Amino acid sequence: MAVEVCVKAAVGAPDTLGDCPFSQRVLLTLEEKKVTYEMKLVDLSNKPEWFLKISPEGKVPVFNSGDGKWIADSDVITQVIEEKFPTPSLVTPPEYASVGSKVFPSFVKFLKSKDASDGSEKALLDELQALDEHLKAHGPYINGENVSAADLSLGPKLFHLQVALEHFKGWKIPENLTSVHAYTKALFSRESFVKTKPAKEHLIAGWAPKVNA
């Protein structure tokens, strides 16, 4: 049986890859390991019966490594891919595994914030500053010269941050965070990333209801 992965389809375009950073993380892991896989797009606004059978909670991504067993949660899925397809290794050393892990929740809070004095912008800047300092000392990637699992988790989230904050708030990552800028440029230009990223308009459409709530 083939390796299969169910991912989010674009909002309003069910035949196009959507804007789920957790789905992209799994696709990036498969691409970086050169694993042949079959991608199934799921319209989350109209979940098909076959999908709810394999993902009763209706969540993406779900993954089947070829044995017919479907598993959920991008943390678990990427671990299974690493064990089943160990080459090239994408293991991030434990001491670096959580680098940048608070960037995404800080971004979401700032994106949804309607109050300029609530501290959400500063909280995000602090996280980006910490990431910049780590990359300055250990870069170009989180674990040095080679891409690893932590980058494939953080990269899609930084893409969301960059596109959504510029669109909804006219906000950009400060120029003085040069290592973060070099990092996003390197990650976003990788062949695996170009192939698996959502179109900007679909990413914006995905966030619009949450921002305007």
**Nearest to residue 202, comparing CAs of 5, 4, 7?**
7
Catalytic pick from 3, 10, 20, 164? Answer: 20
**Nearest to residue 183, comparing CAs of 210, 213, 143?**
143
Assess whether 6 carries a catalytic annotation.
no
Distances in whole angstroms, Cα of residue 4 to Cα of each of 61, 65, 122: 10, 7, 41
8 A C-beta contact, residue 31 and residue 155: no
∠ CA 158-159-165 to the nearest 5 degrees?
Answer: 85
The set of residues, in sequence order, having a beta carbon less than 8 Å from that of 154 and lying 6+ positions away, is 99, 100, 101, 103, 104, 142
Residues with a known catalytic role: 20
